[in-house]
Chains A and B, each alone.
Chain A
Amino acid sequence: MDRLAIEKTYKLFVKNEFIRSESGHSLAVTDASGVTNVARASRKDARDAVLAAKEGHKSWAGKTAYLRGQVLYRLAEVMEGRRAELVESRTRAGATDAAAEVDAAIDRVVHYAGWADKLATILSSANPVAGPHFNVTSPEPMGVVVVVPPEQRPLLGLVSTILPIIVSGNAALVLAPEADPRTSVAFCECVATSDLPGGVINVLTGLRSEVLPHLAKHMDVQGLDLWKSATLGDELAKASAVAGADNVKRVKVRAEAAADAEGLGFVEAWVEQKTVWHPVGL
């Protein structure tokens, strides 16, 4: 006898918890398999997520770089274990190269996990100042970065944008791709079992045009990583960058295609450099 499958409820992911939108609203996602409802995040959800991300950043940045690398590698392990589900989710959304995308995404997580305890070595400098002073410059996380990842190859886009932000100790607040929000939620299930502290990765599904303008103004957000796509056009990107200036946010607006790349440059964009001086003497 055929067994009736259990359907998944797609919720928001904030502070390592799957929650419904406080608004009670949902969005219908239609594909060949039928209609699925995903949560439609509200402004209030966005505000709550910023608070969660602030806490997540504090906890995460306080860990050793070694531990951050371990946890991020663990995320890759969990994704590998859920590989079939991730492939199925992307295929269901219409992807034709789902397996390749998932493999690339898992490998990308491994790539950035390895940067955790190396980025400070490469991005730091010992500065030979002309005087009896010890002087070192080293990178530090900024805090909370709002990410609007690409719509194309959304799982790969998600990890390619989030990982370089969080590897240094930042927290990410992600506005999921609208075309395939379900894979983002499946990814969050990997995050939830990876030992990442709550609040480091927060993912809101819904309408970007509804939530982003509010987050762009938020004074507890330090950065905006905006990847242009069908759901983030020039106008919304520009308006967000203008609003971001209210507290001198670090804003990057980039072309979608560039997301399919990895490396230290993406990490460097989301760190602050701190220089410490101290006299040397007896």
Chain B
Amino acid sequence: MKIISILFFCYSLSFAQSQLFNSPQEVKKFADYLYCEFDYLRAAEEYQKFLRTDKNDTVIFKSVLSYYMMDRFSDVLNFSVSSSRNFVFYDDTQFLKLISLFRLNMFNEFDTTAALIKMIGSKLETNSEKLIRFTFLMRDSISSKGFIVSPFDETEKTTIEKFYDRKQNPHYKSPLLAAVFSSIIPGSGKVYADKLGDGIFAFLTTGVFTFLAYDNFKADHKFRGWLFGGLAGLFYAGNIYGSAAAAQIFNAGVQFNFQNDIQIYLTKKKHYLPEYDFCN
């Protein structure tokens, strides 16, 4: 009986864990599962674990892709620096790097990477040309409409032309004009700068204090007249100043909305990144 028990114990030990769950292949299998379940951050961590012991081009690229999916652009940049020309997904990784630089607004580095992609004749050169055109729209550089829309096909050209027109003719408000308007009619500069409510209240405040000053002077209450007159003057001058500031904020808003719309459009287009089907 004792012998049977000892033998049973030994066999249990030897067969209990025949599969090494932390072997690189198992880690990769688990990471692939997480990737296909859209659990990109955990997938990237598992791929990292795999890459500590093994090397695999697809795994490296899927790791970079996982970081991109999670908007972790700094991690994408760290990875793409280490990839060499012999790497199977070299062109794709360089393009991911280009997208990340675009998203991080690192335009100087973007230009260098874009030039490299052009030089090596990447298969994704057309896609990178499209991104380059968007950087022209986002920067303070002037280019012709034909140059901007050239890499895009007919379905996109109208949208890009609209972006170009918005860039060339932004609906800015002049701070000077806003100040002039408010100096003529208090509050009108605010209305011009798209702040209707603020304009009405500025008009009312200045109007009420002016009336109080006038009424007190008329009733020979000089102190109160000067007090309300002074307040009316302060609010009048403050409104002129505020109208110029409101126009400046409005312009910043126009610029912000333009850049935001470009980012939304590019997110919808997935930054012209090709579809990769690693799950079927």
Binding partners A and B:
no
